Homo-oligomer: A and B are copies of this chain.
Amino acid sequence: MLTVDIHTHILPRELPRWADRFGYGGFVELAHDRPGCARMMIDGRSFREVGENCWSAARRVEECDAAGVRVQVLSTVPVMFSYWSRPEHGHEVARFLNDDIAETVRKHRKRFVGLGTLPLQAPDLAVRELDRCVRELGLRGVQIGSHVNDWNLNAEALFPVFRRAAELGAAVFVHPWDMLGQKELQQYWMQWLVGMPAETTRAIVSLIFGGVLEKLPGLRVAFAHGGGSFPATIGRIEQGFRCRPDLCAIDNAVNPRDYLRRITVDALVHDPLALQLLLDQMGSDRVALGTDYPFPLGEERPGALIRSLRLPRPVEEDLFFRTACTWLGVAPEQFE
């Protein structure tokens, strides 16, 4: 069966020394200390160790072959978003990363689909880069953060970016980053375990209550990690909408529950009951394999959770490739 993994991250093998070039810090550098291993460094501090499969297309293809994955959707690592940087610098970072992903995709058209990143701190530049990603680089869409500095995703300033994505038919993948409650979630990796699902929910709720999804019916948006806690807390969110429309329905009068059938999520929930909830709540045509490859919080054996549910073949097909292809706007046949 065709297998498309919509949630994987990739880095270029080498990163420019942006901090030196731009004259201020905060940018990621990649320190190749020893073969097959590099450290992502920010201002001299080690942020994360990554292996060769984080930058080597050849290595990724090998691992995909071994795992039975035909296609990976490539996106950068969220810490690369650099929304906090000066617009022209964020633009340059995005262009560099997008060129790299496009190059990788060009060499392996049947194995990779690319998503770009955008300098969302400057929506006009983001629209230009989005155009370039789709029209020049052949990327199928973009990955964006769950918020952009002080803006939630419903910020008016960001709307032109979503509108352009809808016009271009570009897929949008929303990934949590820069988690709310960072200070409170220092221990036990809680930023990743508690903060990320809340971040994603914040993004979904902002796009719904802000009316972005309503105004752009053609926009195709997918969310990481099974949509965070949104599918499990939709009852509470709907109750809020019902009992306090003065707070919730000020920009969009449509019941938030309706959007369970409008958004897409990956299946990365690490729990059979939670995955079943996604299917029951959203439908299998709204859930797609996503593994967070090559990171440890991901699914080590891609598709193992989905297979553990022993779903009927057409449902499995949805999860393994059909939902992904619909969201990406590609025909499954293009990978044959």
| Residues in A lying within 8 Å of B, measured CB to CB | 147, 152, 154, 180-181, 184-185, 187-190, 192-198, 201-202, 205-206, 209-210, 225, 228-229, 231-240, 243-244, 247-248, 250, 269-271, 273-274, 277, 280-281, 296-297
Cross-chain contact B188 with A184 (CB below 8 angstroms) = no
B243 adjacent to A193 (CB under 8 Å): no
Instruction: Offer 17 A-B interface pairs, CB within 8 angstroms, sorted by A.
Output: A154-B187, A180-B181, A180-B198, A181-B181, A181-B198, A184-B202, A188-B205, A188-B210, A193-B248, A194-B233, A198-B198, A232-B271, A235-B271, A236-B269, A236-B271, A236-B297, A273-B280
| Contact between chains at A189 and B244 (CB < 8 Å) | yes
CA distance A140 to B198 in the complex (A): 33
Q: Is B229 in contact with A202, judged by CB distance below 8 angstroms?
A: no
Contact A229 B197 (CB under 8 A): yes
Question: A185, B180: Cβ atoms under 8 Å?
Answer: yes
Residues of B within 8 A of A185 (CB): 180, 202
CB-CB nearest in chain B for A268: B236
CA distance A273 to B211 in the complex (A): 26
Judging by beta carbons under 8 Å apart, are B188 and A209 in contact? yes
Q: Which of A154, A195, A270 has the most chain B CB atoms closer than 10 A to its own CB?
A: A270
A233 and B187 within 8 A (CB): no
Top 3 A-B residue pairs of the complex, sorted by shortest distance between their CB atoms = A235-B271, A235-B270, A180-B181
Report the minimum CB–CB distance from A54 to chain B (whole Å): 16
Q: Which residues of B contact A296 (CB under 8 A)?
A: 243-244
Contact partner of A233 among B188, B193, B240, CB < 8 A? B193
Given the complex, which residues of B lie within 8 Å of A184, measured CB to CB?
147, 152, 180, 202
A207–B172 alpha-carbon span in the complex (Å): 37
* A201, A225, A235, most chain B CB atoms within 10 A: A235
Assuming the contacts A188-B209, A189-B244, A202-B181, asked whether A233 and B274 have C-beta atoms less than 8 A apart, the reply is: yes
- Greatest chain B CB density within 10 A among A181, A193, A239 is at A193
Q: CB within 8 A of A205: which of B154, B190, B270?
A: B190
Contact B205 A198 (CB under 8 A): no
C-alpha spacing A83/B238, complex, angstroms = 31
Question: Which B residue sits closest to A233, measured CB to CB?
Answer: B197
A248 touches B297 (CB 8 A): no
* A193-B237, A238-B270, A244-B297 given; 9 more Cβ-contact pairs under 8 Å: A180-B181, A180-B184, A180-B185, A180-B198, A184-B202, A189-B244, A197-B201, A198-B201, A277-B277
Q: Let me know if A248 and B188 touch, CB within 8 A.
A: yes
B239 touches A297 (CB 8 A): yes
Q: How far is the CB of A57 from chain B (nearest CB, A)?
A: 24
In the bound complex, what is the Cα–Cα distance between A232 and B231 (angstroms)? Answer: 9
Given contacts A229-B229, A296-B243, A297-B236, A194 and B187 within 8 Å (CB-CB): no
Question: Roughly how many angstroms separate A242 CA and B324 CA in the complex, as a whole number?
Answer: 28
